[in-house]
Structure 1
Amino acid sequence: MRVDLFDFDLPDELIALRPAEPRDSARLLVVDPNAIPELSDYKVQDLPSFLRPGDAVVFNDTRVIPAQLEGSRHRDGAPGQQVSATLHMRVAPDRWKAFAKPGKRIKIGDRIQFGHSETACMLSALDATVEEKGDAGEITLHFDLSGPSLDEAIAAVGHIPLPPYIAAKRPEDERDRADYQTIYAREEGAVAAPTAGLHFTPGLFEQLDRLGVERHFVTLHVGAGTFLPVKADDTDDHKMHLEIGHVSADAAASLNAVKARGGRIVCVGTTSLRLIESAASDEGRIKAWSGPTGIFITPGYRFKAVDVLMTNFHLPRSTLFMLVSAFAGFETMHRAYQHAIETGYRFYSYGDASLLFRQALFPGQTR
């Protein structure tokens, strides 16, 4: 499909720079292409009223690390330009793939020193060698440290990598260390938050428990590639960046049992949906799964396991807007986003949420 079919105009003032307080007070646009009315306005606090006992909600428990590094390039013993690197996928105990800016002048073999200053302690000195160089500023960094020692140094030197549409308007601060993290985050490795999960509170969890809705956790370490624009003119020419994920055998068995007894799988965030769909067979059975996924979902994709999706509002021309258009219907999602813009919904990572019911494959199919 043509990428420009997924374009829309978004007023700048609708880009949220801070989350709603409390988290579950954010607005929730319910989108059901199989119902009348198709669009309804609620709050995230109302989510339990759209779920049933026996349903299962799937969360991505990845934890955002301070993956934004600032340093200087050195070549032949001479200091060079300042370099900003955003780590996006770990490939070995001492190696990370990263997006570097400016990337054109970086060469294989360059040394990059992160965290060095006149007042720096040894923990805040982090050095790496450029081992590989790819397209669009992507490089592979081979660090001098490895394993837990590298993790500690990154935590000391790095910053939370706020999405570019927020970072362009204000710097990261201490509030972001808590705001840009779900309350259930535990598996370190993401460089971007699974933002639909940011709306959940202990109180909302208690409501789901009382209703008899199961909660299950999977892990997909969100990479910085989620923020990259689609530069191709046609979706067939776009290449997704890989992200590392894991579905445990226990989680897979539990979700299969939910489906077998007629319950629905409700994914919180496009990341958990992409992981569940990666782990599902064509018949819809979910298996234990671990590894990289580059699944790219566009209209025409036949969903195998997921019934309902809660997600935030996404960028125009983005792979995520393509995904939601595939899930709830291309025309439906264009109408939904137009309604959201006209009624002042807040967009992107710190913005409001939508609850999407999967478009029926044929008339009369129930959700």
Structure 2
Amino acid sequence: MKTSDFYFDLPQELIAQDPLEDRSSSRLLVLNKDTGAIEHHIFKEITDYLNPGDCLVINDTKVIPARLYGNKIGTDAKIELLLLKRKENDIWETLVKPGKKAKPGSKISFGGGLLTGEVLDVVEEGNRLIRFTYNGIFEEILDVLGQMPLPPYITHQLKDKNRYQTVYAKHDGSAAAPTAGLHFTPELLAILKEKGVKIAHVTLHVGLGTFRPVKVEDVTQHHMHSEFYSIEESQAKLINDTKAAGGRIISVGTTSCRTLESASGENGIVKAGSGWTDIFIYPGYRFKVLDCLITNFHLPESTLLMLVSALAGKEHILNAYETAVQERYRFFSFGDAMLITS
């Protein structure tokens, strides 16, 4: 299976640069994974496709303002830093630009010394381990100094940083938003609950590995970065009880999907607990838990496109994407949504 098998032509102007004012007014392409049939809707009409007794699984991770701009102590050189994952209390794995100015032993000052980072080591992919020193609470300092780590294809400045959070974001830790969840409003979630749709929470802190380009031609040789996930006992029970009763498990986003598939055995039973996952889902994968998926439109040749192709079949997905381009759907993080159902 080749990476180039997952290429499609995407006009630049279809990459959404700004979120819509009303989250739930984005468009929704509904794809039947069995037949390949396509329907066009508005996202809030997703209520017509979810049934009483189904379970919607949402990722309640919260994006931290993980992009920091500082100066190297001694030379005053400008340095940009992106927090990727917390290794210990004040030690983070980070992406540093320019990396050549961040050798082990280098110190970087942020906010005029409000926060200081010392480079400890160079790790996988040239990332840096950095120990931070500060007075006060790290998260509060980050709120003051940090910027939301928008993907590189979004060139507009975000006016309201809450628009890069889901309305149910709770647990700090992500370097990127679980973007399929951006379409939900509190009102829409309330309508679904009233209808009898259960809502289960899982947590997966999204790292940049999800978006890392596939640089090998043989898909099976690509390695995913690990990401931390957690599922509480009550939420695992809610998901397992739904399946046992014949309800469908509908994952909101590829991150919720990867969490469920990582936390379950071959019998499809989801186990409570926490850990690290580097699961890579591509065509040929047999889903153990998931029935349906709500997702955005992904980059050509990306691991996310491979995941949705594993669920609905590559031909159905590429045909749906071709249709989305023709119909001028908005792509990527702030774009429109797709429901893969049966």
**TM-score, structure 2 length as denominator?**
0.96
When the two structures are aligned, how many residues end up with a matched partner?
342
- CA distance, structure 1, for counterparts of residue 258 and residue 7 of structure 2: 22
Structure 2 counterpart of 1:363: none
- The correspondence of residues 348-363 of structure 1 with structure 2, limited to 5 A, is 348-357=332-341
**1:275-325, Cα deviation, whole Å (9 max, x unpaired):** 011001111000002011111111111100010000000011111011111
Aligned residues with identical type, % of pairs: 46
1:139 aligns with 2:128: yes
Alpha-carbon distance, 1:348 to partner = 0.4
Contact 1:94 1:145 (C-alpha < 8 Å) held by counterparts: no
**1:55-113, Cα deviation, whole Å (9 max, x unpaired):** 00011011111100111223xxx225311111111111111111111123421111111
- The correspondence of residues 165-184 of structure 1 with structure 2, limited to 5 A, is 165-166=153-154, 169-171=155-157, 173-175=158-160, 177-184=161-168
**1:180-232, Cα deviation, whole Å (9 max, x unpaired):** 11111111111211111110012211220121000111111111223321212
Give the alignment partner of residue 306 of structure 1, picking from 290, 298, 315.
290
Listed as ranges, the gaps of 5+ residues in structure 2 are: none
Structure 1 counterpart of 2:46: 47
Give the alignment partner of residue 128 of structure 1, picking from 108, 111, 117.
117
Contact 1:73 1:79 (C-alpha < 8 Å) held by counterparts: yes
Q: CA RMSD in A?
A: 1.5
Listed as ranges, the gaps of 5+ residues in structure 1 are: 117-121, 358-366
SS of residue paired to 1:174: coil
- CA distance, structure 2, for counterparts of residue 238 and residue 138 of structure 1: 18
- CA distance, structure 1, for counterparts of residue 209 and residue 143 of structure 2: 21
Structure 1 counterpart of 2:209: 225
- CA distance, structure 1, for counterparts of residue 156 and residue 194 of structure 2: 40
- CA distance, structure 2, for counterparts of residue 336 and residue 70 of structure 1: 40
SS of residue paired to 2:125: coil
Contact 1:87 1:224 (C-alpha < 8 Å) held by counterparts: no
SS of residue paired to 1:104: helix
- The correspondence of residues 1-367 of structure 1 with structure 2, limited to 5 A, is 1-35=1-35, 38-74=37-73, 78-116=74-112, 125-145=114-134, 149-166=137-154, 169-171=155-157, 173-175=158-160, 177-357=161-341, 367=342
Contact 2:211 2:303 (C-alpha < 8 Å) held by counterparts: no
SS of residue paired to 2:99: coil
| Residue identity opposite 1:13 in structure 2 | E
Contact 1:17 1:350 (C-alpha < 8 Å) held by counterparts: yes
- CA distance, structure 2, for counterparts of residue 99 and residue 227 of structure 1: 14
Contact 2:67 2:82 (C-alpha < 8 Å) held by counterparts: yes
- CA distance, structure 2, for counterparts of residue 29 and residue 98 of structure 1: 36
Alpha-carbon distance, 1:137 to partner = 3.5
- CA distance, structure 1, for counterparts of residue 128 and residue 8 of structure 2: 32
- CA distance, structure 1, for counterparts of residue 206 and residue 63 of structure 2: 8
SS of residue paired to 1:79: coil
| Residue identity opposite 1:155 in structure 2 | D
- Could you say if the C-alpha distance between residues 80 and 233 of structure 1 is closer, same or farther in structure 2, counting changes exceeding 3 Å? farther
- CA distance, structure 2, for counterparts of residue 81 and residue 137 of structure 1: 19
- CA distance, structure 1, for counterparts of residue 72 and residue 8 of structure 2: 39
- Could you say if the C-alpha distance between residues 200 and 49 of structure 1 is closer, same or farther in structure 2, counting changes exceeding 3 Å? same
Contact 2:33 2:311 (C-alpha < 8 Å) held by counterparts: no
- CA distance, structure 2, for counterparts of residue 267 and residue 206 of structure 1: 17
SS of residue paired to 2:87: strand
SS of residue paired to 1:251: helix
**TM-score, structure 1 length as denominator?**
0.90
Contact 1:87 1:191 (C-alpha < 8 Å) held by counterparts: yes
- CA distance, structure 2, for counterparts of residue 136 and residue 317 of structure 1: 20
- CA distance, structure 2, for counterparts of residue 309 and residue 219 of structure 1: 17
Contact 2:18 2:156 (C-alpha < 8 Å) held by counterparts: no
SS of residue paired to 1:349: coil
